[in-house]
Amino acid sequence: MQDRYISIEGISRSYPAPGGGKTTVFDDLWLSMARGEFVAVIGHSGCGKTTVLNILAGLDAPSSGVVIVDGKAIEGPSLDRAVIFQSHALLPWKTALSNVAYAVSSRWPKLSRSEIEAKAMEAIRLVGLEQAAHRKPSQLSGGMKQRVGIARALSIDPKILLMDEPFSALDALTRGTLQDEVRKICIETGQTVFMITHDVDEAIYLADKIVLMTNGPGARIAEIVANPLPKARTRNDVHRHPAYYPVRNHIIDFLVSRSKSFDEEIAGKAWDPRHPPLVNPSIPEPSVAAIGKGPVTQGQGGDKPGFFPANRMRGTP
Amino acid sequence: MRSLELRSVAVSIMLLMTFLLAWHLAVTGGSSGQKMDPEYAKLMGITATQGKSAMPSPVDVGLTLWGHIKDPFYVRGTNDVGLGLQLGYSILRVAAGYLLAMAVALPLGFLIGMSPLMSRALDPFIQVLKPISPLAWMPLALYTIKDSGLSAIFVIFICSIWPMLINTAFGVANVRKEWINVARTLEVGTLRKAFTVILPAAAPTIVTGMRISIGIAWLVIVAAEMLVGGTGVGYFVWNEWNNLSITNVITAILVIGFVGMLLDQILARLGHLVTYPE
Ligand SMILES: Nc1ncnc2c1ncn2[C@@H]1O[C@H](COP(=O)(O)OP(=O)(O)OP(=O)(O)O)[C@@H](O)[C@H]1O
Ligand SMILES: [Mg+2]
């Protein structure tokens, strides 16, 4: 059975609304992740993905609920959880290299200057930026800044990687190479990853599970898609896999229509936010295999948008 | 760009020449001295009776200035001290008051900027103290400190503290949230965070405050020294007015402006060093 390395337990987040009262970005959100699992989150802009990530990072606190990591409730940020920020968040007065070195020296305060520099340079080389290592962020392109952000997160050997659209500003070629690189590192080091993305193909290539979030305010985790592709996939063969298009269509259908009308979809039905259904769009029959902890339901493979299996089985917590 | 620079320099020089020429003509061309009531002319100084205006010509000022530059540090009695020495006194006073103000304003500004509680608690005091003319403190300073030189330093301290304090607090309070978050995710301690993230991020704003402060301090020192007397460039101006040496007064005015510009440029240079493009 899966362990719950990260367990998001009933968190909600609300902000004061302009005209008094408050808007609830999301409410009663539950999600658990196993050690070494790669989870991608997909949802429309503004649904609260970054907010969830900030809570996981310890930068933001939920209005209610808790997040438990490795048996302990999160109380603040930790060096064990590295964040790749959506906005890069590089310190503009430091060069690319010293931005990374700052992280390295925070992680290992006892290292000598040259050791810090060497470790930072290693991370910079990993993202292919050695030519630009001594440039300031203002002299870097958006994609280069994003790569520095990735290098900074990887340089501190975190246990958990929290990535907020880490590859969004990159050209297709660089994105491919970096995705390969990050995937390799994550598998080698047994990284547990929480990644936000808008790119369906990226999610299918990288993630073990893809979390689908409905539109805010009051966003929910509609379902969790178990990636049917073999772990040993490569960039060039993913789209040849028979399960690839069913998964892809399922997700795109969700984004196009179901993410908006999800509340109508579940209206009148028993909905348990603690156990969002785990679907496997490539498996034709329900109940084929209990992948993970949640119930497995049939996906519709994209042919019937709006369809939602009513005879879902419930797992126990 | 280069030609714009050259042309602007040319225009500046032309304007200066025109001004000097107009000044020269206005002073030498007229014969106001002869038409003046001799009694009044006598009161106004001897030059007026010699067919010349009491107002010195640019050449007079130039010669006097040259004299001061050649021999800036002489002492021929308490009321006859070289302009360089007087400037030195003023600069020392400004430096002392300014550095004291910095020593108080920067840490206090950090505290105010980092703590919303302290920011609110201290705000009413700052709001009331800030608009007080620094010279209004002078009698109180003279009464409590009982030393005119130290009182002048205190006045400089009190006038230069506000822009530095307010800018530091503002700069510190408005450091981009995401930079703070970087430090937080890296579990950087408070002190290290203050020096490695908040200080560099707020430095441009802080230095702007320091630049405003040095300008105000240099404005105030002249007035303060006119009040306390004894030494300093402000006292020099007042003393030369009492001697009716308008030439020396104008010379001193020029020198005060020049030193003020230098001080401002030093801070501008510092500001340039700490500014980062985003
Ligand atoms: N400080 C804040 N005050 C008020 N509302 C906020 C604040 N921060 C975020 N929100 C709201 O919370 C919602 C979720 O924001 P969040 O940044 O998590 O979205 P997101 O899913 O990451 O979107 P995107 O894909 O565009 O990055 C948004 O509707 C936003 O308006
Ligand atoms: Mg976001």
B193 HSE (CA, 13 A, CB side): 17
* B5 part of contact set with chain A, CB < 8 Å: no
Report the distance separating Cα A87 and Cα B7, nearest Å: 44
- Best residue in A75, A78, A91, A159 to probe B by mutation, most B CBs within 10 Å? A91
- Is residue A216 within 6 Å of ligand 1 at its C-beta? yes
Report the distance separating Cα A234 and Cα A282, nearest Å: 19
Average pLDDT of chain A?
Answer: 87
Q: What is the pLDDT of residue A317?
A: 39
Q: What is the DSSP letter of B75?
A: B
User: For B138-150, how does the pLDDT look when each residue is reduced to its tens digit (9 = 90+)?
Assistant: 999 999 998 888 9
DSSP 3-state of A22: strand
- Is residue A18 within 6 Å of ligand 1 at its C-beta? no
Report the distance separating Cα A107 and Cα A115, nearest Å: 12
The burial of B75, by beta-carbon neighbours within 10 Å (0-12 exposed, 13-18 middle, 19 or more buried), is given as exposed
Least confident of A187-196, A218-227, A275-284, B37-46: B37-46
The burial of A1, by beta-carbon neighbours within 10 Å (0-12 exposed, 13-18 middle, 19 or more buried), is given as exposed
Confidence of residue A308 (pLDDT cuts 50, 70, 90): very low
User: For A256-272, how does the pLDDT look when each residue is reduced to its tens digit (9 = 90+)?
Assistant: 999 888 888 888 888 88
State the amino acid at position A311 in one-letter form.
N
Report the distance separating Cα A7 and Cα A1, nearest Å: 15
Are B276 and A136 in contact (CB < 8 Å)?
yes
User: What's the token pair of residue B270?
Assistant: 């510092």
- Pick from A158, A133, A136, A137: which is nearest to A146 by CA? A137
User: What's the token pair of residue A23?
Assistant: 């808007």
Q: What is the pLDDT of residue B2?
A: 73
Q: What is the pLDDT of residue B42?
A: 59
Q: What is the DSSP letter of A215?
A: -
- Best residue in A85, A106, A108 to probe B by mutation, most B CBs within 10 Å? A106
Least confident of A36-50, A223-237, A240-254, A293-307: A293-307
Q: How many CB atoms lie within 10 A of CB A253?
A: 21
Are A156 and B186 in contact (CB < 8 Å)?
yes
Q: Read off the pTM.
A: 0.83
- What is the four-CA torsion angle of B176, B177, B179, B182, rounded to 10 degrees? 180
Q: What is the pLDDT of residue B71?
A: 82
DSSP 3-state of B184: helix
Cβ atoms of residues A27 and A317 within 8 Å: no
- The stretch A160-176 carries a mean pLDDT of 91
Query: How far away, in angstroms, is B61 Cα from ligand 2 center?
Result: 67
User: What's the token pair of residue B237?
Assistant: 């101006």
- The stretch B53-69 carries a mean pLDDT of 84
Q: What is the pLDDT of residue B35?
A: 53
DSSP calls for B171-209? HHHTS-HHHHHHHHHTT--HHHHIIIIIHHHHHHHHHHH
DSSP calls for B24-38? HHHHHH--HHHHS-H
Q: Is the pLDDT of residue B217 over 70?
A: yes
Bridge partners, residue A211, by sequence: A41, A224
CA B166 and chain centroid, separation: 19
Q: Are strands A221-226 and A192-196 parallel, antiparallel or unpaired?
A: unpaired
User: How many residue pairs from chains A and B have C-beta atoms closer than 8 A?
Assistant: 54
Q: Is the pLDDT of residue A143 over 80?
A: yes
- The stretch B178-207 carries a mean pLDDT of 95
Helices assigned H by DSSP within B30-147:
32-35, 38-44, 46-49, 58-70, 83-114, 116-129, 138-145
Residue nearest to atom 16 of ligand 1 (CA): A48
A42 Cβ contact list (under 8 Å, min separation 6): A197, A198, A200, A203, A210, A211, A212, A213, A251, A254, A255
* A307 part of contact set with chain B, CB < 8 Å: no
Tokens 């001004």 identify what position?
B19
Q: Is the pLDDT of residue A297 over 80?
A: no
Q: What is the pLDDT of residue A271?
A: 84
State the amino acid at position B126 in one-letter form.
I
Q: Which is higher by pLDDT, A253 or A293? A: A253
Q: What is the pLDDT of residue A314?
A: 39
3-state helix, strand, coil in chain B (%, to 5): 80, 0, 20
Report the distance separating Cα B141 and Cα A270, nearest Å: 78
Q: Which is higher by pLDDT, A120 or A312? A: A120
B238 HSE (CA, 13 A, CB side): 16
Residues of B whose CB is below 8 A from A55: none
Q: Which residue in A78, A82, A91 is closest to B197 by CB distance? A: A91
CA-based torsion, B108, B111, B114, B115: positive or negative: negative
Q: Provide, rounded to the nearest whole percent, the portion of chain A with pLDDT above 70.
A: 88
User: For A38-85, how does the pLDDT look when each residue is reduced to its tens digit (9 = 90+)?
Assistant: 999 999 999 999 999 999 999 999 999 999 999 999 999 999 999 999
- Pick from B171, B200, B174, B197: which is nearest to B184 by CA? B197
Q: What is the DSSP letter of B243?
A: T
- The stretch A112-131 carries a mean pLDDT of 94
Residues of A whose CB is below 8 A from B188: 106
Least confident of A151-160, A278-287, B113-122, B239-248: A278-287
- The stretch A196-225 carries a mean pLDDT of 93
A239 Cβ contact list (under 8 Å, min separation 6): A201, A245
Q: What is the pLDDT of residue A282?
A: 78
Cβ atoms of residues A148 and A103 within 8 Å: no
Q: Is the pLDDT of residue A228 over 60?
A: yes
DSSP 3-state of B9: helix
Give the largest Cα separation in chain A, rounded: 64
Residues of B whose CB is below 8 A from A137: 278
Report the distance separating Cα A293 and Cα A275, nearest Å: 9
What separation in angstroms does the CA of B111 have from each of A128, A202, B115? 41, 46, 6
User: What's the token pair of residue A84?
Assistant: 């790749």
Q: Is the pLDDT of residue B24 over 70?
A: yes
Q: What is the pLDDT of residue A58?
A: 95
Confidence of residue A288 (pLDDT cuts 50, 70, 90): very low
Q: What is the pLDDT of residue A161?
A: 95
Q: Provide, rounded to the nearest whole percent, the portion of chain B with pLDDT above 70.
A: 91
